[in-house]
């Protein structure tokens, strides 16, 4: 992984972790469908303007079908599932569910693209998952009143991300990341428009919710997807999706700064283990290979 890819990875994790906090602010007023429809529409407008300025709109038309599929399985569906999840789950825990995506991504890439993971990358996925468990164990609750459906929604969203990463690599390999980001958000906007109309909130939406949604649309969706699809093109889907291992760490940081949440020893230890798993699973950290050499006679 090159230094530029590492910078993209960290910046992307920062932007995506903030989206969980902002969605939690806005979704009670908007509802999942309306919130995500506005989110992808804002991202689409932002990305369309950037792409039009660069003169790449013809590529969107040429790959319209594939981009719409990516918009469905990498934005519309998982975004709505997570928006539903944060109605009853903390934003940090939703980010932790999101962090299971690299495991699904590696499995899909292995089965579909024949990208068999090395033993160290498998070890990194396992270590990362252990770190996530350590980080989040005290947040899990299956008491009556319920988080069961929210948990299932979050996991299904992560599976969708895993499938989308390999689909993007297989069908849009070589297409400029900005084109993929723009086309997918346009497709997601079109797909979600009828649901937004049908489930638009009856009462007025506060300025705080609108501002949160616009920030999510521009920063955590528009800019973030440019980075994400560039990572897929540069390092492959299984490694690119490993960014979600970092998201819970940054989500805890955002929660501490913005929501005054306490940072515990469990969080610190879990965060360090997650970072180790990310380094192994992305190939950033490669333990030395021991080789036995026969001594000269």
Residue 98 has φ and ψ, to the nearest 5°, of -60, -30
Q: Using alpha carbons only, what angle is made at residue 186 by residues 181 and 188, rounded to the nearest 5 degrees?
A: 95
135 contacts 268 by C-beta, under 8 angstroms: no
| DSSP summary character for residue 116 | P
215 contacts 22 by C-beta, under 8 angstroms: yes
36 contacts 212 by C-beta, under 8 angstroms: no
- Candidates 26, 44, 32, 31; CA nearest to 190 is 44
pLDDT in tens, the chain (297 residues): 677 888 888 899 889 888 988 998 999 999 999 999 999 999 999 999 999 998 888 889 999 999 999 999 999 999 999 999 988 877 777 887 787 787 788 778 888 877 777 888 888 878 888 887 886 676 566 666 557 788 788 889 988 998 998 898 889 988 888 899 999 999 999 999 999 999 999 989 999 999 999 999 999 999 988 888 888 888 877 677 677 777 887 887 777 777 666 667 776 787 788 778 777 776 666 776 544 444 444
């Amino acid at each position: 992984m090159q230094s530029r890819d590492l910078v993209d990875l960290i910046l992307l994790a920062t932007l995506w972790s903030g989206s969980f906090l902002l969605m939690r602010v806005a979704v009670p007023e908007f509802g999942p469908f309306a919130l995500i429809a506005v989110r992808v529409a804002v991202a689409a407008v932002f990305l369309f303007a950037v792409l039009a300025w660069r003169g790449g709109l013809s590529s969107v038309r040429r790959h319209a079908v594939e981009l719409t599929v990516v918009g469905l399985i990498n934005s519309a569906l998982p975004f709505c599932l997570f928006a539903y999840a944060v109605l009853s789950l903390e934003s940090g825990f939703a980010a932790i569910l999101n962090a299971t995506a690299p495991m699904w991504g590696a499995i899909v890439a292995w089965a579909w693209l024949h990208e068999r993971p090395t033993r160290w990358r498998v070890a990194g996925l396992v270590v990362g998952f252990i770190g996530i468990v350590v980080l989040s164990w005290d947040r899990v609750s299956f008491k009556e009143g319920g988080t069961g459906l929210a948990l299932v929604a979050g996991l299904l969203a992560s599976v969708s991300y895993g499938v989308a990463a390999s689909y993007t690599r297989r069908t849009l390999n070589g297409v400029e990341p900005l084109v993929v980001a723009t086309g997918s958000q346009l497709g997601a906007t079109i797909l979600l428009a009828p649901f937004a109309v049908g489930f638009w909130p009856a009462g007025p939406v506060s300025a705080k919710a609108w501002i949160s949604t616009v920030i999510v649309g521009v920063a955590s969706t528009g800019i973030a997807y440019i980075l994400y699809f560039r990572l897929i093109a540069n390092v492959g889907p299984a490694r690119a999706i490993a960014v979600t291992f970092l998201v819970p760490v940054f989500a805890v940081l955002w929660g501490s700064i913005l929501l005054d949440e306490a940072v515990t020893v469990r969080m610190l230890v879990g965060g360090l283990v997650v970072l180790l798993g990310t380094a192994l699973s992305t190939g950033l950290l490669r333990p030395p290979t021991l080789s036995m050499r026969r001594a000269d006679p």
